[in-house]
Amino acid sequence: MNDCEDERSLMCCVKKPFKNYVGINCLGVYHESCIERLKNLKLLRGYKVECCEKEEMQGNLLRENQTLKNIIQNEFEEECRKLLEENCRFKDELENLKEELNLKDRQLEDVEEKMRTRG
């Protein structure tokens, strides 16, 4: 089977051929009518299409990578903020428990002192 014979049918319309026109730079999929209509697309051999410039594609990828980096950085900063807040809550709770323990120790010492003075 050569490139020109790469016609498949759709599951819903078995008798209608489905032609996959794929951009060689961006791997985008195009309609046949769009290839004829759009000026920046050029039909190559078979169902391959010369689409966007490689430099343009690289620029798009760099922008997408920067956007993903920003999203990840923001999520990381948000998680760090949440962890710091949780850490502060734990520290406060620990201080409260220490104070309660000290109070209980003093109460116990008072009870022990009273028991020694009675006995």
pLDDT means over runs of 10, the chain (119 residues):
50 74 80 77 80 69 88 96 96 97 95 87
> Is 94 in the same domain as 119?
yes
CB count in 10 Å sphere of residue 47: 18
DSSP H helices, the chain, are 32-37, 54-118
CA distance 69 to 82: 20
Domain count, the chain: 2
Contact present, 23 and 37 (Cβ < 8 Å)? no
Structural domain containing residue 29: 3-50
> Is 71 in the same domain as 101?
yes
> Is 77 in the same domain as 93?
yes
> Is 42 in the same domain as 87?
no
pTM for the model: 0.42
Contact present, 24 and 52 (Cβ < 8 Å)? no
Q: What confidence score (pLDDT) does residue 4 get?
A: 42
